[in-house]
Amino acid sequence: MQFLDEASITVIAGHGGNGSLSFRREKYVARGGPDGGDGGDGGSVYLVADDHLNTLIDFRYQPRYRAEVGLGGSGRNKTGASGSDLYVKVPRGTTVIDEETEQIIGDLTSPGETLLVATGGRRGLGNTRFKSSTNRAPRKTTPGGDGEERRLRLQLKLLADVALLGLPNAGKSTFVRAVSAAQPKVANYPFTTLVPSLGVVRLDSETAFVVADIPGLIEGAAEGAGLGTRFLRHLSRARLLLHLVDAAPLDGSDPLASVALIEAELAAYSASLAELPVVLALNKADLLPAEEAEALRERLQSSYPDRDVFVISAATKAGVEPLLWKLAESLLEPVSEEELEARADLRARIARDVRDRSAQERNARSSERRAAQEDEDDDFGAEVIEVRDD
């Protein structure tokens, strides 16, 4: 599930300031020497990796970035002010490609890492610089150099910040359609979604995150029932789980029981994945009287006192906005060093679980194949169909 977010931008470094042509003019000094100062250097453009950004959407709205020019020098040997450098924040994980040469200029992988993408023009020299024993009154100066200008292509592998979880038909894909531009298929039957997909949720100019639509889980999924749990490996980078529950299931089952079922399947797949923070949302509230939905919410809340529980309708979008802000807030809230370490540790454990799981599944598949092969040898004519989930 690798989605590429792309944007093209132009970065323009500042022109260097021109050197000045000037001679001293003072009372009683007939022929003053040269005193033209140098210009200032032009500002450069740098990209800097920032953990608070997670998409390249903003660059579509603002594609040009210009650093300050250096100012010209002046008389009395005054040097012109240098132009300030410009630091453009990009999400961590951004790859930077020169559009002209198609060459990768660099990858911004660690937070705070910077990459010089356009060098400021050099300062021009004032005529003072050209004074010599043979030329006491030089009229020569040099102009400031051009700032570099480049077209860059930024690429970012989108990773899900929030992953949806729930039974088939809970309304996960409907939710993703409601909150992002992504258009996963929605239909009134289970297992409509067969592979995960991603959507970017934009809340305001500074707040965006990525949600993953996931195939439904069912009882026994960890043992391979339904679509199994293989696609859960795509969640190994998610930081939050949003568990959607059908508040008015057609089969009349208890939504609380479905929550417990999904949680059990998740834990059976990976105990560490199940440690991720979970936000619960009762969906399809439009199908219930408000009091009933509220009563359900209260029951769910008392079973899971530490979790946020929302009541929403993905179809009408009622209640969706506060839920999205809650998710954004949890993703962006500043955290302590210890918390960061704990998260890194959890991520490492999840990655290990996912690796172990994948290895087990591969083994299971190959022994299934062996069994099928033997069947064939026995002339049972079994047909083996390989199903890939990506």
Ligand X SMILES: Nc1nc2c(ncn2[C@@H]2O[C@H](COP(=O)(O)OP(=O)(O)OP(=O)(O)O)[C@@H](O)[C@H]2O)c(=O)[nH]1
Residues that bind Mg ion (CB under 5 A): 172-173, 192-193
Residue with Cβ nearer ligand X (142 or 197):
197
Give me the long-range contacts of 105-111 (CB less than 8 A, separation at least 24). 105/152, 108/47, 108/48, 108/49, 109/49, 110/49, 111/49, 111/50, 111/51
Output 90 or 164, the one with its CB closest to ligand X. 164
187 binds, among ligand X, Mg ion, none (CB under 5 to 8 A by kind): ligand X
- Between CA 67 and CA 81 the distance in angstroms is 13
Nearer to ligand X, 39 or 215 (CB): 215
Q: CB 16 → ligand X: shortest distance, Å? A: 57
**Cβ within 8 Å of residue 226, ≥6 positions away:** 168, 190, 191, 215, 216, 217, 218, 220
Secondary-structure percent of the chain, ordered helix, strand, coil, rounded to 5: 30, 25, 45
**Smallest gap, in angstroms, from Cβ of residue 187 to Mg ion?**
8
The least CB distance from residue 245 to Mg ion, in Å, is 14
User: CA-CA distance, 79 to 38, in Å (whole number)?
Assistant: 5
When CB distances are held under 5 to 8 angstroms depending on the partner's kind, the choice from ligand X, Mg ion, none that residue 283 binds is ligand X
Shortest spacing between CB 213 and ligand X, in angstroms? 7
Give the residue ranges of DSSP H helices in the chain: 57-61, 172-179, 255-269, 290-303, 320-332, 337-377
- Residue 190: name its binding partner from ligand X, Mg ion, none (Cβ under 5 to 8 Å by kind): ligand X
Nearer to ligand X, 79 or 174 (CB): 174
**284 touches, from ligand X, Mg ion, none (C-beta below 5 to 8 Å by class):** ligand X
Of 13 and 244, which CB lies nearer to Mg ion in the complex structure? 244
CB 106 within 8 A of CB 68: no
CA–CA separation, 87 and 80 (whole Å): 22
313 makes contact, choosing from Mg ion, ligand X, none, with CB < 5 to 8 Å by partner type, with: ligand X
E strands, 102-225, in order = 104-108, 114-118, 149-158, 162-165, 197-204, 207-213
Instruction: Give CA–CA dist 168/225, Å, rounded.
Output: 12
Q: Are 174 and 69 in contact (CB under 8 A)?
A: no
Q: Are strands 114-118 and 45-50 parallel, antiparallel or unpaired?
A: antiparallel
Contacting residues toward ligand X, per CB under 6 A? 166, 168-174, 186-188, 190-193, 215-216, 283-284, 286-287, 313-315
Give the nearest distance from C-beta 211 to Mg ion in angstroms: 12
169, interface contact from Mg ion, ligand X, none, CB < 5-8 Å by kind: ligand X
Choose the one of ligand X, Mg ion, none that binds residue 188, judging by a C-beta under 5 to 8 angstroms depending on kind. ligand X
Are the C-beta atoms of residues 148 and 7 closer than 8 Å to each other?
no
Q: How far is the CB of 331 from ligand X (least distance, A)?
A: 22
CB 166 within 8 A of CB 221: no
Measured from the CB of residue 116, what is the shortest distance to Mg ion in angstroms?
44
Question: Cβ-count burial of 146 within 10 angstroms (0-12 exposed, 13-18 middle, 19+ buried)?
Answer: middle
- Partner touching 315 among Mg ion, ligand X, none, CB below 5 to 8 Å by kind: ligand X
Q: What minimum distance in Å lies between the beta carbon of 278 and Mg ion?
A: 19
As measured in angstroms, the least distance from the Cβ of 207 to Mg ion is: 25
Give the Cα separation of 76 and 39 in Å (integer): 13
Indicate which of ligand X, Mg ion, none lies near residue 168 (CB less than 5 to 8 Å, by partner kind): ligand X
Which CB atom, from 138 or from 166, has the smaller least distance to ligand X?
166
Tokens found for residue 332? 């962006």
Which residues, listed in sequence order, are joined to residue 89 by a DSSP beta bridge?
Answer: 48
Question: In this complex, which beta carbon is closest to ligand X, that of residue 79 or of residue 258?
Answer: 258
**Coil/strand/helix, residue 243:** strand
If the CB atoms of residues 74 and 313 are measured against ligand X, the closer one turns out to be: 313
Task: Give the nearer residue to Mg ion in terms of CB position, either 129 or 172.
Answer: 172
